[in-house]
Amino acid sequence: MTRKGFGLRAIAIGGFAATVMAAVPAAHAEDKMVVFAAASLKDALDAVNKACEADVGEAATVSYAASSALAKQIEGGAPADAFISADLDWMKYLSDKKLTKPDTEVKLLGNEIVLVAPKDSTVETKIEKGFDLAKLIGDGKLAMGDFKAVPAGKYGKAALESLGVWSSVEGKVAQAENVRAALKLVSTGEAPLGIVYATDAHAEKGVKVVGTFPEDSHPPIIYPVAQTADSKDKDTPAFLKCLQSAKAGALFKEQGFTVLTPSN
Residue 145, pLDDT score? 96
- The verdict on whether residue 20 carries a ligand-binding annotation is no
Q: Is there a contact between 107 and 221 (Cβ–Cβ < 8 Å)? A: no
Q: Which residues of 85-124 are buried (b: 16+ CB within 10 A; e: fewer)?
A: bbbbbbbebbbeeebbbeebbbebbebbbbbbbbeebebe
What is the third-level CATH fold of 34-110+222-259?
D-Maltodextrin-Binding Protein; domain 2 (3.40.190)
Q: In the chain, count H helices and then E strands.
A: 12, 11
- The verdict on whether residue 67 carries a ligand-binding annotation is yes
- Residue range(s) occupied by CATH 3.40.190.10 in the chain: 34-110+222-259, 113-212
Can you tell me the distance from the alpha carbon of 9 to that of 235, in angstroms, rounded to the nearest whole number? 40
Please list the pLDDT of the chain residue by residue as tens digits (264 residues).
443 443 444 344 334 433 443 444 544 445 789 999 999 999 999 999 999 999 999 999 999 999 999 999 999 999 999 999 999 999 999 999 999 999 999 999 999 999 999 999 999 999 999 999 999 999 999 999 999 999 999 999 999 999 999 999 999 999 999 999 999 999 999 999 999 999 999 999 999 999 999 999 999 999 999 999 999 999 999 999 999 999 999 999 999 999 998 765
C-alpha separations of 246 from 60, 69, 109, 194 in Å: 19, 30, 13, 33
Can you tell me the distance from the alpha carbon of 43 to that of 255, in angstroms, rounded to the nearest whole number? 8
Can you tell me the distance from the alpha carbon of 148 to that of 99, in angstroms, rounded to the nearest whole number? 22
- The verdict on whether residue 22 carries a ligand-binding annotation is no
Residue 230, pLDDT score? 95
Question: How large is the greatest C-alpha to C-alpha distance in the chain, in angstroms?
Answer: 54
Non-local CB neighbours of 28 within 8 Å, separated by 6+ positions: 34, 61, 79, 80
**Adjacency order of strands within the sheet including 34-38:** 61-65, 34-38, 82-84, 222-227, 106-110, 258-259
The CATH code belonging to domain 113-212 is: 3.40.190.10
